[in-house]
Amino acid sequence: MPRIFVSFSTIRKSQTVRKARPQGGLTLLFLVLLTMASCHKTINNLSAIEWKTEKFTPSLIERGGMAVLPVGQSEGIPAETHWLGAELRKDLASTFGKDKIVGPDVVRGYLKDKSVEDILKNLKNKSSPDTVRGIAGLSSLGQKLHVRYLLQTDLRLSEVAGGAEHVRIFGRIWDTTDDEIIWTGYGEARGYVYMFFPAVPASFEKDAAVAVEGLVREIRNS
C-alpha cells in the first residue's frame, strides 16, 4: 500500500505541474501585453515663427489660395521630401480648405514649362533662412496655379541624435503679386518611443508629422 500511495502521489503531483504550465504561459502573455500597453511616444514640438510682415494674417490664404511647392532637400532622402509635401498639403487643406490649397504634385506638372522651372530654381537659390528679400517674376507662376501665395519649404534636418529622431522643416510664404516674402518659420520635432527598456528614436513619419503639424499651426496662429 505505501508503494501504491507514493505512486499515486507522484502522479497527482505530475498532473498538477502539467495543469500549472498553461498558467505560466498566461503570465508571460500578460507581461507582453502589459509591456505593449506601457509603450508610448514622447515627441516634442519645437516649431516656431521666425518673421512675418505686418500685413500677414491667415485669412490672406483663405482669400487668395496657396500652392505648396515641392519640398527642398538640404538633408534626408527624396522619399522623405515627397512624403512631407503630401503631408503639408493634407494638413493645410484641412486647416484652410481643400479648394484653397494646391499640392506639390500639381506644381510638378508645370515643370515642363521652362519659365516655371526657372522660377523654382531661383526660389531654391534663395532658400537660406536669413534671406528675406523678394524675387521678381512670381506673378506668372501664381496665375498658372490660380493662387496668390506660395509655400516654399526645405528639409533642413533629418537625423537621429542623442537617441531621438530630429526633424526640422524651414518654411516661407511668398506673395506672388508683390514679389515678396511675408512669413517665415520652422516646423520642428524631436522624439522618442518609451518602453520598459531604454527609449528608442521615433520613426521619421511620426516625428515629421508633428513637425508638419507644428508648421501649419504656426501659420494659422500668426
Cell of 176: 506672388
* pLDDT attached to residue 89: 98
Please tell me the total count of domains within the chain: 2
Q: Are residues 28 and 92 in the same domain?
A: no
Q: Are residues 50 and 101 in the same domain?
A: yes
Q: Which residues contact 210 (CB under 8 A, 6 or more apart)?
A: 43, 45, 189, 191
Q: Are residues 28 and 126 in the same domain?
A: no
User: Tell me, what CATH number does 72's domain have?
Assistant: 3.40.50.10610
What is the rounded CA–CA span in Å between residue 45 and residue 33? 29
Q: Are residues 67 and 124 in the same domain?
A: yes
Q: Are residues 167 and 207 in the same domain?
A: yes
More confident residue, 145 or 8: 145
Q: Are residues 188 and 168 in the same domain?
A: yes
Confidence of residue 134 (pLDDT cuts 50, 70, 90): low
Per residue in 45-92, pLDDT tens? 999 999 999 999 999 999 999 999 999 988 888 999 999 999 999 999
Mark out the alpha helices in the chain (DSSP H runs).
Answer: 2-38, 59-64, 78-96, 104-108, 114-125, 139-145, 204-221
Q: Are residues 166 and 103 in the same domain?
A: yes
What is the rounded CA–CA span in Å between residue 122 and residue 110? 15
Q: What is the pTM of this model?
A: 0.78
What is the rounded CA–CA span in Å between residue 42 and residue 193? 6
Domain span holding position 29: 1-38
SS3 8: helix
Is 15 a residue whose pLDDT tops 50?
no
The lowest-confidence range among 53-57, 95-99, 161-165, 191-195 is 191-195
Q: Are residues 132 and 173 in the same domain?
A: yes
Q: Are residues 12 and 89 in the same domain?
A: no
